[in-house]
Amino acid sequence: MNRKLRRILFISIGFNLLFIIVTGFTFVKLDKVDAGVKKTNAVNRAGFHYYERTSLFDELSIPPNFIVFLGDSLTFRTEWAELFPGKNVINRGIGGDTTEGVLDRLDSVIAAQPKQIFLLIGVNDLRSHSVSATLENYSLIIDRIQSGSPKTEIFIQSLLPVNNKKYGKILTNYKIKKMNEGLRYLAENTGVHYIDLYSIFAENDQLPEKYTLDGIHLTGKGYILWRESIKEYIE
């Protein structure tokens, strides 16, 4: 009897252990799937802004002979019409945008045959791409504008410095300056204007704290300095 009871007890313990192992494995697996779904949704949400903005731009055509500010979040985060009252300016900035993103949405800008385009793009590229690859896309942007809207006056604006104390080491100002050297060369070789915003903003090769809260985006004072730096070119 004792032997039989021991056997039943061992079998019972075995089944309990097996149940615990299977249940635990199932929870871990479900947790991983759930985490994967959350991650995917987060990635999708990060891209929603681009598609929301481009779908809006598809509905709102640019009037002829307008001045277009084209770029990423630095362009997107201000009110250009209020910075330049009385001027026909329009904002075509998208947060997080890259040179590739600009290329994908460039047709609607070219179709409007704008009077001027002020372009500032590329800082988001540099976090994961080389200077040469970014410049290659930039060159394609200039070429397409010149081919599709030859009367448009193009202004390449240099990238701004970042404040590495606030922004971290994701991107160095050394790389930004290399990019700007390439942009200056591109402007000279394509016959477009180059505006050196970097030198205007930088103090000791950093974006001063008075112009930024997070190390890369601008405060109101920063946008006023930007306006003062380019107002002579606005027609």
- According to the model, what pLDDT value does residue 7 have? 61
In sequence order, what are the beta bridge partners of 188? Answer: none
Q: Is the pLDDT of residue 30 over 90?
A: no
- According to the model, what pLDDT value does residue 178 have? 98
**Mean per-residue pLDDT for 49-58?**
85
Enter the tokens of residue 104: 């994908």
What pTM was computed for the model? 0.80
What confidence tens digit (pLDDT) does each residue in 54-84 have?
888 888 889 989 999 999 999 999 999 999 9
Enter the tokens of residue 126: 């540099």
What confidence tens digit (pLDDT) does each residue in 168-196 have?
999 999 999 999 999 999 999 999 999 99
**Mean per-residue pLDDT for 28-54?**
49
- According to the model, what pLDDT value does residue 37 have? 31
Alpha-carbon distance 43 to 49, whole Å?
11
Contact yes or no for 114/66 (Cβ under 8 A): yes
Q: Is the pLDDT of residue 32 over 70?
A: no
Q: Is the pLDDT of residue 40 over 50?
A: no
Alpha-carbon distance 151 to 116, whole Å?
9
Contact yes or no for 114/65 (Cβ under 8 A): yes
What confidence tens digit (pLDDT) does each residue in 102-140 have?
999 999 999 999 999 999 999 999 999 999 999 999 999
Enter the tokens of residue 203: 């103090």
The number of beta carbons lying within 10 Å of the beta carbon of residue 186 is 17
